[in-house]
Amino acid sequence: MTDLQDLYQELILDHGRRPRNFGALSGTSRSAEGYNPLCGDKVKVYVKMDGDTVKDISFEGAGCAISTASASIMTEILKGKTRTEAEELFQTFHELVTGQKAQLQAPELGKLAVFSGVSEFPIRVKCATLAWHTLRAALNDADEVISTE
């Protein structure tokens, strides 16, 4: 189990240091901003839809390794997914990081499983879910800044 945890730690640090899909999307896209005052994490999520499918997605912001890695991995995973699939993944991911679901019960999460350890640190749950809450706001075309508080 320790090896797996080390691997997870590595992936989170890697995505935290070199986030993927980082930067604003050009052209027309929806966006929303999120803020986690508990930790100081800030994120802006951009999403370009093709009908009901996520055609492109990116993010900008500054925060702790967990919030940055979560946003980075989220953007990797959601490209090509439908809105409904994105919403379902968020539900499952939320259950994983809050400890309501074990990792083995959620194989569809793929790489997102690296955040399973967050369930042992309730204060970090908001770091891990900030990008997802913000994505939801972007999809709903919400204009206000989303706060986890």
Q: Which one, 3 or 149, has the nearer CB to Zn ion?
A: 149
Does 42 participate in binding Zn ion (rule CB under 5 A)?
Answer: no
Q: Which one, 39 or 49, has the nearer CB to Zn ion?
A: 39
Q: Which of 96, 97, 127, 138 binds Zn ion (CB under 5 A)?
A: 127
Does 65 participate in binding Zn ion (rule CB under 5 A)?
Answer: no
Question: ∠ CA(72), CA(21), CA(87), 5° rounding?
Answer: 55
Instruction: Find the helix or strand (DSSP H, E) in which 31 lies.
Output: strand 30-36
Q: Which of 21, 67, 92, 116 binds Zn ion (CB under 5 A)?
A: 67
Report the distance separating Cα 122 and Cα 126, nearest Å.
8
Q: Which amino acid is at 57?
A: I
Residue 28 DSSP SS3:
coil
Q: Which amino acid is at 148?
A: T
How far apart are CB 49 and Zn ion at their closest, in Å? 28
Q: Which of 11, 49, 64, 142 binds Zn ion (CB under 5 A)?
A: 64
Tokens of 42: 């800030």
Q: Which amino acid is at 149?
A: E
How far apart are CB 69 and Zn ion at their closest, in Å? 10
Residue 114 DSSP SS3:
helix
Q: Which of 12, 25, 41, 96 binds Zn ion (CB under 5 A)?
A: 41
Does 39 participate in binding Zn ion (rule CB under 5 A)?
Answer: yes
Q: Measure CA of the first residue to CA of the last residue in the chain; give whole Å.
A: 34
How far apart are CB 148 and Zn ion at their closest, in Å? 10
Residues that bind Zn ion (CB under 5 A): 39, 41, 64, 67, 127
